[in-house]
Structure 1
Amino acid sequence: MLKAAPSYAFNPQGDGKGKKVLILGGGLCGMTTAYELTKLGYSCTILEARDRVGGRCWSVRKGSHNTETGLPKQTAQLDDGQYFNAGPSRIPHHHELTLHYCKELGVPLQIYNNVNEGAYYFSEGKGPLSNQKIKVREVHNDMRGYMSELLHKSISQDKLDLALSKDDIEKVLEYLRAEGGLDIDNLYKASARRGYTVAPSTGNQAGKVAEAHRLADLISSGLTDPDFYNVAEYTYELQMTMFQAVGGMDKIATALEKKVGTLIKKGAEVTSIINTDAGVKVSYTDTTGKQEASADICICTIPLTVLSNLNHNFSSDVSRAIDYASYIATGKIGLQFKRRFWEEDEQIYGGITHTNNDLTQIFYPSNDYQSNKGVLLGYYNFNDKAIKTGNLSLIDREKLALEKGALIHPQYLKEFEKSFSVSWHKTPCSLGGWALYTSETRESMYKALLKPDKQVYFAGEHMTYLNAWMAGAFESARSVVTEVNNRLSEQRGEYKKVDK
């Protein structure tokens, strides 16, 4: 029933023959930029510091490696066929350009289950419901019921000043009865909506529904705190339906590499970017030593936190914007288990368990259901919790994930096999998960980077309002391709403005 991904027509006109474009960064934005520019005849070279493409679009699998600042090199020992997405893991149904490129590049997609009422809320604390796992559906339906009951009482007793007719008020009351599952007396009592303690079966086994959690207990146990309610049901980008690439999100990067792989120099770490009268000159180091490349135009997709450490001759406004850029601290850990106990024992297929401790979230895989083994995300945290976790040694991160996770799933300690953790803010070529802006920095620093600094253009998710999403990389790539092609076409005297 989902409409097909649109063609998303993109047909800039021009002949780029004879023009060189140097692209810094072999992530999704950099490779997509090269992919589109080469269609127009431009000569492109991509400099990528890592020995792999994709940037933060990275799926950890057997043999994957990463070296964070202050920590030893880490190499994944996951079994063949096991993986987890260390970077982006979800594609919203309304990110049409991402869906378009998956279709154009032949990357198959599958449903990503982002919302699972059978997962848990776990609140550490001293409340009556603290330190125990509570089904998401129990909290949702209990709170929905109590809030509907309170509002029903207010409306039915004329306690609210509503500009509604008598008939309209009755319709609102009917809605609240249905929304909250209120009984004949318009009170909230537990129902099958929140699940069974004994499932319905044959004969006289009608099933048993537990009593609802008391409203006061839910509140005092912290289960109504923002830790739990700032979640997928309400966030635009996280609303179902969502997708993922079959076999790992790095399949998207791999598909792009097949198109532009001959243009990529891996292990090429940029050290300086200098605008010249005739173009741009970039210095970098590789396995053979110091190197230099020049081009007519440079498109820089390097994260701003990394770019701030490089030598350049940008204008003061651009330099200030780069130096004051802010990226989120975030980290993930993948835990491989001998068996998929979350499915076998607890019937959890995909979705997220939310906590108020340092784990923040546990993600259950939305792939390979009912197979023998699996990798779940033992934590996905942000800001202070991510900094705290990132400062731990690799083995202590694993211990934290197992200790806190075992409070929810005691099977952890018996079934655990291997782990691999990533703190993006400590990963040298990223230095953060994604760009963060305030309304003030959007007006100042962000706008300073929207225009090219002479021959250098800036691109990437940080140059969009789609921060943290692959869509930001794709949209930025198309935007910068349009700008560069319009500029060079004008110089050639064949200018015909084409919007992205």
Structure 2
Amino acid sequence: MLPAAPAHAFSLPGSGQGKSVIILGAGLAGMTTAYELTKLGYRCTVLEARERTGGRCWSIRKGSTHTETVNPTQTAQLDEGLYFNAGPSRIPHHHQLTLQYCRELGVPIEIYNNVNEGAYHFSEGQGALSNKKIRIREVHNDMRGYVTEMLAKAIDQHKLDAALTTEDVTKIIEYLRAEGGLDADKLYKASARRGYVEAPGAGDKPGKIADPHTLADLLQSGLLSPDFYNVAEYTYELQMTMFQAKGGMDNIARALEKKLPGMIRTGAVVSSIQNLENTVRVKYTLKGAPQEIEAEACICTLPLPILSNLDHNFSSDVSRAIDFVPYIQTGKIGLQFKRRFWEEDEQIFGGITHTNNDLTQIFYPSNDYLGKKGVLIGYYNFNEKAKKVGTLSLKEREQLALEKGSLIHPQYKTEFEHSFSVSWHLTPYSLGGWALYSGDTRQTLYKAFIKPDKRVYFAGEHTTYLNAWMAGAFESARKAVADVHARFTEQRLQYPASTKEGG
């Protein structure tokens, strides 16, 4: 009865009639379950180990603090009003449920510029184009030109296996000429698509188009490697239009928190989850003091690396899945600069520069355009690169970001002010960025989380096919709420009100 990806407020029939539910974790999934269950008449208690809500939905601002397992506590020195998103930073236009909660909670959104042909590819290596910043539009349009030229020639010479009529050939050639910017002879010779070395202007200023990079140089310089061709235009979740919450993504979490007065206990570190005959018992510490709470159901949104270290009596299938589903290693660093040189000097407004070094990606802010100062994400890396960078001290991470970033933007050296870095796989109560599944584990381990273990239900991005996205938290929350509500409303239909409910 649950509509798929509903872009409307959640509405289920029946009442929870004051039944009690413990929710573990005050991230987006946990707070959304509490929000929706409360509207249905349930009594919710949310336990959160951190001293803040939001979980991985976290924006770094002046005064933000962070302590990892391998580094001392750092405090953000960003100027008032500046921020960067340490966790999720983008909302796809087709994630209707995320947008619905922004609408319902009154969180304003703005365009997030994820695709910017004016940003760069930077490949360290030995090729003719290596160690140079190359505009993305140059690489994309040169390659479109060369590939369509080769295909057009092959079609002209009847070298394709496909049987084509003369009319078909003409239509395909017309398309290839348009797609690749080929001339009348079906040759690629650069065009205004790849930009100008001298911009057109008034009077006798037609503009000058640069010669294309040669195909050999593009190949030998590594600019066609997977480091650069996981491009946003081809990835469903990253296609424009994209959005972000104004002022920081954790404004979504803050809006949810306001809907749950008195329900969230921060600093509550869970140590044990036990399914009993008719209840769930959770043990935790609060400010060092041991605590215990029981309720008629529990919704667990804790990341699996955290859950793996807790005492529980889950079934063997759930226990195995908790221990064997890996989480990605990933990290970000925010760099504050005195001047938005990427806009003033290089006309880069939003978007991403891709590299093959330890930075992996540089994100340019999609807010406060033409402002005085700004914060860009100096690296966003994954897997082995994130693991390597995560082992560095805070100062060494900063030095790495500045050293490698200066190869692309020499302005770093004179404009840099402050940094703040987060390695999610070294962050207590997360220990990873998001869950990773293979085709095989989707058919085995994953299935353990999409049904309850007695009175414990699971939610969070790891219980969806929307891993790493806020939509995963929201979708899973609605599913958990619907499942819990179905359990109790169905039982009231089956048993007299005076009958004690079974497990």
Q: TM-score, normalised by structure 2?
A: 0.96
Q: Report the more deviating stretch, 450-459 or 108-117.
A: 450-459
1:98 is aligned to: 98
1:356-397 CA distance string (max 9 Å, x none): 000000000000000000000000000000000001000000
1:217 is aligned to: 217
**4+ residue runs of structure 1 moved beyond 3 angstroms?**
none
Distance (Å, rounded) in 1 between the aligned partners of 2:245 and 2:9? 22
Residue 401 of structure 1 aligns with an amino acid whose one-letter code is A
Distance (Å, rounded) in 2 between the aligned partners of 1:48 and 1:452? 21
Distance (Å, rounded) in 2 between the aligned partners of 1:292 and 1:378? 43
1:57·1:249 contact (CA, 8 Å) conserved in 2? yes
1:274 is aligned to: 274
2:303·2:430 contact (CA, 8 Å) conserved in 1? yes
2:254 is aligned to: 254
2:441 is aligned to: 441
1:346 is aligned to: 346
1:376 is aligned to: 376
Is 2:152 aligned against 1:152? yes
Distance (Å, rounded) in 1 between the aligned partners of 2:72 and 2:6? 45
1:278·1:296 contact (CA, 8 Å) conserved in 2? yes
Instruction: Find the residue that maps to 1:354 and give its secondary structure.
Output: strand
The Cα shift of 1:10 comes to 2.7
Report 1:53-72 matches (<5 A).
Answer: 53-72=53-72
Residue 227 of structure 2 aligns with an amino acid whose one-letter code is D
Report 1:130-279 matches (<5 A).
Answer: 130-279=130-279
* Residues 414 and 494 of structure 1: CA distance in aligned 2, closer, same or farther (over 3 Å): farther
2:26·2:53 contact (CA, 8 Å) conserved in 1? yes
Report 1:280-429 matches (<5 A).
Answer: 280-429=280-429
2:7·2:97 contact (CA, 8 Å) conserved in 1? no
* Residues 261 and 388 of structure 1: CA distance in aligned 2, closer, same or farther (over 3 Å): farther
2:199·2:208 contact (CA, 8 Å) conserved in 1? yes
Instruction: Find the residue that maps to 1:110 and give its secondary structure.
Output: strand
Distance (Å, rounded) in 2 between the aligned partners of 1:370 and 1:480? 44
Distance (Å, rounded) in 1 between the aligned partners of 2:96 and 2:449? 25
Distance (Å, rounded) in 1 between the aligned partners of 2:196 and 2:487? 64
The Cα shift of 1:8 comes to 2.5
Q: Report the more deviating stretch, 255-264 or 370-379.
A: 255-264
Distance (Å, rounded) in 1 between the aligned partners of 2:164 and 2:179? 19
1:334·1:375 contact (CA, 8 Å) conserved in 2? yes
Distance (Å, rounded) in 2 between the aligned partners of 1:189 and 1:289? 73
Q: Name structure 1 gaps, 5 residues minimum.
A: 496-500
1:57·1:250 contact (CA, 8 Å) conserved in 2? yes
Q: TM-score, normalised by structure 1?
A: 0.97
1:498 is aligned to: none
Instruction: Find the residue that maps to 2:334 and give its secondary structure.
Output: strand
Residue 167 of structure 1 aligns with an amino acid whose one-letter code is E
Distance (Å, rounded) in 2 between the aligned partners of 1:362 and 1:377? 6
Instruction: Find the residue that maps to 2:234 and give its secondary structure.
Output: coil
1:177-215 CA distance string (max 9 Å, x none): 010000121100011110000100121111111110000
Residue 285 of structure 2 aligns with an amino acid whose one-letter code is T
Residue 42 of structure 1 aligns with an amino acid whose one-letter code is Y
Report 1:9-20 matches (<5 A).
Answer: 9-20=9-20
1:455 is aligned to: 455
State the aligned residue count: 491
The Cα shift of 1:9 comes to 5.0
The Cα shift of 1:463 comes to 0.2
The Cα shift of 1:18 comes to 3.0
Distance (Å, rounded) in 1 between the aligned partners of 2:170 and 2:261? 65
Residue 135 of structure 1 aligns with an amino acid whose one-letter code is R
1:418-468 CA distance string (max 9 Å, x none): 000000000011010000000111111111121111111111000000000
Distance (Å, rounded) in 2 between the aligned partners of 1:393 and 1:478? 40
Residue 162 of structure 1 aligns with an amino acid whose one-letter code is A
Distance (Å, rounded) in 1 between the aligned partners of 2:261 and 2:120? 43
Q: Name structure 2 gaps, 5 residues minimum.
A: 496-503
Residue 143 of structure 2 aligns with an amino acid whose one-letter code is M
2:114 is aligned to: 114
Distance (Å, rounded) in 2 between the aligned partners of 1:278 and 1:149? 70
1:14·1:494 contact (CA, 8 Å) conserved in 2? no
The Cα shift of 1:6 comes to 6.9
Instruction: Find the residue that maps to 1:227 and give its secondary structure.
Output: coil
Residue 52 of structure 1 aligns with an amino acid whose one-letter code is R
Distance (Å, rounded) in 1 between the aligned partners of 2:312 and 2:141? 56
Distance (Å, rounded) in 2 between the aligned partners of 1:261 and 1:140? 51
